Amino acid sequence: MKLNNLKVKTQVILLSIFLLVVAVVIGILAMVNQRSVINRNLAVLEDSIRKDYDENIKSQVESVVSMLRIIYVDYTAGEYSLDEAKEMGAKVIKGITYGEAGYFWADTYEGLNVAMYGKDIVGTNRIEEVDENGYSYMKGIIEVGRSEGGGYTEYWFPKPNETEASPKRSYSLAFEPFEWVIGTGNYTDYIDDIIENLKEEEIANSNAAMLRFLLIFLGTFVASVLVISYISRNISKSFKMVSQFLSTLATGNFKTALPDNYTKRTDDFGLLAKDLESMKDSIAVLVSKTKDEADSIVYAVEKSAVI
C-alpha cells in the first residue's frame, strides 16, 4: 500500500493512530521498567536486611566468646579450676539475652548441651536432632562453628507454643579451650513478611500509577480522536473546495470566486486559495486577450473576403 494512493484524510488518521500506538508502547515499557526497578530495589533491600541480621547474630556470639576468653585467662592465672571456669562460662551464657528474644546456647563438640537460656536441657545430647526436613541441624551448627571464623546454619524449627516449623538461621563459633560451640539464632520469616508487605505496597502504588496512566491515556485518546476528526474534516473540506473550484475553472467559468473564509486564511490553504485566485485572474485576462485577438483575426478575414 502506497501513501500516495491514500486520501490526505486517511493519511492524517493513520499518522495519528501510529503516534497513539507509539505512546501506548512507551507507556507499557515504562510500567514494565518500573516493575523491574521495584523488584531490583526489593532484592537489594532484602539482601541488606539479611546481611544486617547475620552481622548482628555474629557480633553477639563473638561478644559471648570474648567473655569466655576472659574467664579462661583468669583460669590460666590460677584463680579457679577448669571445671569452675566452665561453670562460670555456662552461667554467663544462661544469663545473657539481647533484643526481644535473642538468647545463646553452648554444646560440646559431641553435641552435649552445657548451657541454654530459658530451657533446662543441660546434659542432653542433641547431636542427632533433625528438623522437619530431616536435616541434622545440630551437626551442622557444630561443624560450621568449628570451622575458621564460625558460620551460619539454616534449618526449620517450631516457634514457642507452635507446632508448625518456621525458617531459622543461626550463627555458631567454637571456643577451643572449653571445646564448646557457642550459638545464637532467630526465626527469619519476619524478613519475608517485611519484603512481602513492601512488595504488596509497591505493587499497589504501581497499579495506581497504571490506572492513572490508563485514565490519562483514555482522556488523551478521546481528545485526540476529536481533534483528529476536526482536522481531517477541515482538510478534506478544504481539498474538496479547491477541487470544485478547479473543476469550475476547467469549464471556462472564471467568474466564480473562492469564499472569503478561504482566501483570508493564514495557513497553507489560505496561501493556496490566494494563488488560485491569482491564477484564475491571470487565465481570465489571457483568455480575454486571446478572444479579442481571435475576434480581430475573424474580422480581418471576413473583411478581406468582402473585398
- How far, in Å, are 294, 297, 299, 305 from residue 302 at the CA level? 12, 9, 5, 5
List CB contacts of 56: < 8 A, sequence separation 6 or more. none
Three cell numbers written together for 285: 485576462
List CB contacts of 274: < 8 A, sequence separation 6 or more. 263
Confidence (pTM): 0.64
pLDDT reported for residue 258: 66
Ranges of the chain with pLDDT below 50:
none
Three cell numbers written together for 258: 473562492
Question: How, if at all, do strands 113-116 and 102-108 pair?
Answer: antiparallel
The domain ranges of the chain are 14-196, 252-307
pLDDT reported for residue 305: 66
**Would you say 264 and 273 are in contact if contact means Cβ atoms under 8 Å apart?**
no
Residue with cell 547431636: 127
pLDDT reported for residue 2: 60
What tens digit of pLDDT does each residue of 86-136 get?
999 999 999 999 988 889 999 999 999 999 987 788 999 999 999 999 999
**Would you say 7 and 236 are in contact if contact means Cβ atoms under 8 Å apart?**
yes
- Give the separation between CA 30 and CA 27, rounded to whole angstroms: 5
What tens digit of pLDDT does each residue of 273-302 get?
676 667 766 776 776 677 777 777 776 777
The class that CATH gives domain 14-196 is: alpha beta
pLDDT reported for residue 279: 72
Three cell numbers written together for 41: 530495589
